[in-house]
Structure 1
Amino acid sequence: MYYELYIDVFFTVNFTMDYILLVAVRKMLKCPARHGRIALGALLGSALTCLVIILPVPYTFVKFVLFHGMVNVLMIRAGLLVKWGSDMLKAWILLYISGFLTGGVFQFLGQYMRIGSLFFVLAVASYYVVSGIWSLISYLSRQNQYRCQADLYMNGRKCQVQALIDTGNSLRDELTGKPVCILDQDVARELLAGSEAVKLRYIPYHSIGKKDGVMPLVTLDKMCIRNDKKQWIAEPMAAICENEMTADKYKMIINPEILVGGIDDDNKSSSTASI
Structure 2
Amino acid sequence: MRYIVYIDRLFLLQFIQSCMLLLLTRAFLRSTVTLKRIVLASSAGALLFCMILLMPDMGRSMKILLFACSGLVTLGMAFRIKSLQVFCKAVILYHGAAFLLAGALSALRAVCGRETAMDTLQASACAAAIGITALCILRWEQIKREEIVVTVILEEGEIQLMLKALIDSGNSLYDPISGKPVCVVEREALEGKIPLDIPEKFRLIPYHSIGKKHGMMQAVEIEKLKVKKDGQELIVEKALLGLYEGKASAHGGYQMILHPALFENRRNGHDTKSRNTRKNAV
| TM-score between the two structures when normalised by the length of structure 1 | 0.52
- Matched residue, 1:155: none
**Structure 2, unaligned runs of 5 or more:** 161-222, 233-260
- Matched residue, 1:81: 80
Cα distance in structure 1, aligned partners of 2:127 and 2:229: 48
Deviations 1:167-204 (A, max 9, x none): 4143689999662667889xxxxxxxxxxxxxxxxxxx
- Checking the alignment, whether the CA contact within 8 Å between 1:22 and 1:95 is kept in structure 2 is yes
CA-CA distance at 1:80 after TM superposition: 2.9
Which of these two proteins has the greater Rg computed from alpha carbons?
1
Query: Are the structure 2 counterparts of residues 108 and 242 from structure 1 closer, same or farther at C-alpha, using a change threshold of 3 Å?
Result: same
- Matched residue, 1:43: 43
CA-CA distance at 1:75 after TM superposition: 0.7
Say which of 129, 134, 141 aligns to 1:130: 134
- Matched residue, 1:170: 152
Q: Higher RCO, 1 or 2 (CA under 8 Å, sep at least 6)?
A: 2
| TM-score between the two structures when normalised by the length of structure 2 | 0.51
Cα distance in structure 1, aligned partners of 2:230 and 2:7: 67
CA-CA distance at 1:232 after TM superposition: 4.8
- Matched residue, 2:67: 67
Greater share of helix residues, 1 or 2? 1
- Matched residue, 2:199: none
Cα distance in structure 1, aligned partners of 2:28 and 2:73: 19
- Matched residue, 1:195: none
Deviations 1:16-56 (A, max 9, x none): 21122112222222333333322221121112212222224
Which amino acid is 1:71 matched to?
S
Q: Determine if the alignment matches structure 1 residue 107 to structure 2 residue 67.
A: no
CA-CA distance at 1:85 after TM superposition: 1.7
- Matched residue, 2:92: 93
Deviations 1:189-227 (A, max 9, x none): xxxxxxxxxxxxxxxxxxxxxxxxxxxxxxxxxx99549
Aligned residues: 184
CA-CA distance at 1:84 after TM superposition: 4.9
Task: Give 3-state SS (helix, strand or coil) of 2:150's partner.
Answer: coil
- Checking the alignment, whether the CA contact within 8 Å between 2:21 and 2:98 is kept in structure 1 is yes
Query: Are the structure 2 counterparts of residues 32 and 113 from structure 1 closer, same or farther at C-alpha, using a change threshold of 3 Å?
Result: farther
- Checking the alignment, whether the CA contact within 8 Å between 1:22 and 1:76 is kept in structure 2 is yes
Cα distance in structure 1, aligned partners of 2:9 and 2:271: 67
CA-CA distance at 1:109 after TM superposition: 3.3
Which amino acid is 2:136 matched to?
G
Cα distance in structure 2, aligned partners of 1:239 and 1:106: 52
**Structure 1, unaligned runs of 5 or more:** 147-165, 186-222, 246-275
Task: Give 3-state SS (helix, strand or coil) of 1:31's partner.
Answer: coil
Query: Are the structure 2 counterparts of residues 92 and 67 from structure 1 closer, same or farther at C-alpha, using a change threshold of 3 Å?
Result: same
**Over the residues paired in the alignment, what is the CA RMSD in angstroms?**
4.1
Task: Give 3-state SS (helix, strand or coil) of 1:238's partner.
Answer: strand
